[in-house]
C-alpha cells in the first residue's frame, strides 16, 4: 500500500511540474478534440499530451487516418511543422503515437494538412521553398550577380525557367522582354530619340539632374522604350538633347 501511495505521489508531482513548465513556456495542453487518430482507435490524454490507443493486436503499419495527407506515426513530433512555422526548432526525441501531417505537408488553422503553396497562396509559376535565395533571377537579371549560400525565409519563389518581373509575377524570359505598349508590340518601334530595351536603365538621364557617375546593373523595370545615349527625358517625357531641355527643367548648366 505504501509503494502504491508513493507511486501516486510521484505521478502527481510529475503532472504538476509538467503543468507549471507548460504554463511558463506558454504551451497549451493537447486535447482529444484537436488530435487526429486512426480509424477505429481511441484518444486519451496523459501528462498534458494526447495519444491514440489502437485496438488490441492491430498492426501499426496498417492504420489509416481519417483525413487527407495525414499519416499515422508511432513516434510523433511534439512541434509539427505548421503554416507560418515551417521549421520548428524545438523537438523532443519521440512523441505519443497519433496521426500527423505527412512529409511535405503543413498543418493549417483549420486542422488540415496542406502544401506550402496552399499555406502561402503561391501564384502561377511559383513553388514554395523553406530555403529561399536572396539573389533569385529576375527580369533583366537572368544570372545571379553574386553568390548566395545562406537560406532566406520560407516563401513562394519562381519555378526554374521563370523570372520575377516588377509586379512580382513569375514569367518566361520572352515575356520579360515583351513590350507592353501596343505600338511597340507590333513593330517594336519607339518614339523619336528612343530605343527599345529589354533591361532599361535604373538611372536614366533627366533634364535638370546631374548625369549619374555610375549606375547599378539592376533593370529599371520591365522591357520598354528609353532614351538613346546622349538624350535626356524632359518634363513631358520626351527624349531631347541637353541643349533642347526646357529652361524650366534646367537647374544648372
Q: How far is it between the farthest Cα atoms of the chain? A: 106
pLDDT digits (tens, 9 = 90+) for 145-204: 556 677 889 999 999 889 998 888 999 988 886 655 444 444 457 888 998 877 788 888
Distance in angstroms (rounded) separating the CA atoms of residues 194 and 228:
5
Q: SS3 for 46? A: strand
| Residue 96: C-alpha distances to residues 31, 32, 36, 83, 189 (Å) | 13, 13, 12, 22, 68
Q: SS3 for 2? A: helix
Neighbour-count burial of 236, counting CB atoms closer than 10 A to its CB (0-12 exposed, 13-18 middle, 19+ buried): exposed
Confidence of residue 91 (pLDDT cuts 50, 70, 90): low
The answer to whether the CB of 204 falls within 8 A of the CB of 210 is: no
The answer to whether the CB of 141 falls within 8 A of the CB of 219 is: yes
pLDDT digits (tens, 9 = 90+) for 171-184: 998 888 665 544 44
pLDDT digits (tens, 9 = 90+) for 17-46: 444 544 444 445 678 888 999 999 999 987
pLDDT at residue 197 in the model:
79
- Single pTM value for the model: 0.57
Neighbour-count burial of 69, counting CB atoms closer than 10 A to its CB (0-12 exposed, 13-18 middle, 19+ buried): middle
Amino acid at each position: 500500500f505504501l509503494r502504491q501511495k508513493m507511486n501516486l505521489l510521484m505521478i502527481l508531482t510529475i503532472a504538476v511540474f509538467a503543468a507549471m513548465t507548460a504554463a511558463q513556456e506558454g504551451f497549451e495542453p493537447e486535447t482529444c478534440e484537436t488530435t487526429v487518430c486512426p480509424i477505429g482507435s481511441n484518444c486519451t490524454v496523459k501528462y498534458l499530451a494526447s495519444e491514440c490507443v489502437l485496438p488490441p493486436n492491430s498492426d501499426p503499419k496498417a492504420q489509416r487516418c481519417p483525413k487527407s495527407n495525414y499519416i499515422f506515426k508511432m513516434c510523433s513530433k511534439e512541434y509539427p511543422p505548421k503554416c507560418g512555422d515551417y521549421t520548428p526548432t524545438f523537438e523532443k526525441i519521440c512523441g505519443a503515437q497519433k496521426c500527423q501531417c505527412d512529409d511535405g505537408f503543413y498543418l493549417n488553422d483549420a486542422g488540415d494538412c496542406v502544401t506550402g503553396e496552399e499555406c502561402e497562396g503561391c501564384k502561377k509559376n511559383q513553388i514554395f521553398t523553406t530555403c529561399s535565395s536572396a539573389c533569385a533571377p529576375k527580369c533583366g537579371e537572368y544570372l545571379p550577380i553574386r553568390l548566395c549560400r545562406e537560406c532566406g525565409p520560407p516563401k513562394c519563389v519562381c519555378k526554374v525557367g521563370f523570372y520575377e518581373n516588377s509586379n512580382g509575377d513569375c514569367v518566361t524570359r520572352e515575356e520579360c522582354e515583351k513590350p507592353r505598349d501596343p505600338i511597340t508590340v507590333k513593330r517594336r518601334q519607339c518614339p523619336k530619340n528612343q530605343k527599345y530595351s529589354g533591361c532599361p536603365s535604373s538611372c536614366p538621364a533627366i533634364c535638370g539632374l546631374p548625369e549619374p557617375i555610375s549606375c547599378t546593373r539592376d533593370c529599371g523595370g520591365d522591357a520598354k522604350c528609353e532614351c538613346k545615349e546622349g538624350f535626356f527625358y524632359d518634363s513631358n517625357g520626351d527624349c531631347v538633347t541637353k541643349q533642347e531641355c526646357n529652361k524650366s527643367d534646367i537647374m544648372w548648366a
